[in-house]
Amino acid sequence: MPQKPRFTLTSLPVKIFLCVLAGSYMVYLVGLSHFLYPALWAPSTTIIDHPVNTSPSAVEHYWTTASMQGAISADQQISTNPTLTQESNVQSAGKAAQQQGQPPQNGDSSYPLSSTVGKVFMTNASGQNMVCSGTAVVSANQSVVDTAGHCLYWNGGWVHNVIFCPLYNNGTSPYGCWVARDLEAPADWIDAAPNDYHHDMGMAIVSENGEGLLTNVVGGAGWAYNQTISQPYSAYGYPAAPPFDGQTKQSCENAMGKGSSHGSGTVVSIPCNMTGGSSGGPWFIQINGKWYLDGHNDFISYAQPGRMFSPVYDDTWYAMYEKAQSE
């Protein structure tokens, strides 16, 4: 005769042990998924892409020496008195990372602090020719230019006739200029509240010119993001408002950064006298003796005169970069 199954009651300490074991296992699985699949846990960031339909040759012909010299600073469009609250020296919330740059094939010794820096020309929705600054960045497609968001999208519209001229000096660029075929900016810049520049970031993806792919010719600056705010920065750009004329590259070197709460995020500022036209120009930091892009000239404020401000390059910047280098 078969025996009846026997049931035993698990003691309370055993039940507690099993619950703790199960909980520990779940924590282990979550931690493992963070390690193996970091993209699943990255902040949700939407990047807006704007393909350019104008032919590169048409844009090249549009930008004569006269039209370049007559372009006005895009910074004239933006407020110079945004709200800034308590100082903040905290590091960005995400994990710090960096990538070394790509030197130019010709071995230009001015890489990266000069060879990758140039002027960005564009035409706004009202037909005004405008000017900013920008940086050639190391990328998979060898064609990414980093700049300020307001240089590419402002007041509800994208700009057009976008062209990047590295090593610009008094109307000439030794390797010519590269025409943008695609523009990108974060959705929270496109939809930003008035006077909120904490994600005023943009990137242009450029077509090959007669010299070749952009970073093969002038090099691509290395990049870094989620870095400590309180450290020295070296800023470069082409300020066009007095006392400057926009025809030569200027700099504010080895300037110590400090953070401020601004809009819905954090910005970093340095002592710097550059003016309108320098927007989008790079801020470089040094890590183990190598230079990395980690910010750009973006806005000034009467509340803190004599200082230039940049968005903090964070996970949103990296999401934009990842999209740009795959275009």
Kindly write down the DSSP assignment for every residue of 75-129, as one continuous string.
GGGS-S-----SB--PPPSS--EEE--B--TT--TTTTTTTTEEEEEEE-TTS-E
pLDDT confidence band for 299 (50 / 70 / 90) = very high
5-19, 226-240, 278-292 — which is least confidently predicted? 5-19
Best CA proximity match to 151, nearest among 222, 217, 213, 73 = 73
pLDDT confidence band for 91 (50 / 70 / 90) = low
Q: Do 116 and 104 contact (CB within 8 A), yes or no? A: no
Tell whether the model's pLDDT for residue 311 goes beyond 80: yes
Neighbours of 149 (CB within 10 A): 27
User: Using the 8-state DSSP alphabet, how is residue 191 labeled?
Assistant: T
Question: Mean pLDDT throughout 84-101?
Answer: 75
Tell whether the model's pLDDT for residue 65 goes beyond 70: yes
pLDDT confidence band for 282 (50 / 70 / 90) = very high
Average pLDDT, the chain: 86
pLDDT at position 37:
40
Note if the bond before 43 is cis, omega within 30 degrees. no
pLDDT confidence band for 304 (50 / 70 / 90) = confident
Query: Per-residue pLDDT tens for 167-194?
Result: 999 999 999 999 999 999 999 999 999 8
Tell whether the model's pLDDT for residue 286 goes beyond 70: yes
Which has more confidence, 13 or 243? Answer: 243
pLDDT confidence band for 95 (50 / 70 / 90) = very high
Query: Per-residue pLDDT tens for 105-125?
Result: 999 999 999 999 999 999 998
| In the chain, % of residues over pLDDT 70 | 81
| In the chain, % of residues over pLDDT 90 | 73
pLDDT at position 35:
37
pLDDT confidence band for 80 (50 / 70 / 90) = low
pLDDT confidence band for 155 (50 / 70 / 90) = confident
Best CA proximity match to 277, nearest among 173, 114, 136, 148 = 148
| Dist CA 181 CA 119 (whole Å) | 17
Name the residue type at position 285: I
User: Using the 8-state DSSP alphabet, how is residue 197 labeled?
Assistant: -
pLDDT confidence band for 26 (50 / 70 / 90) = very low
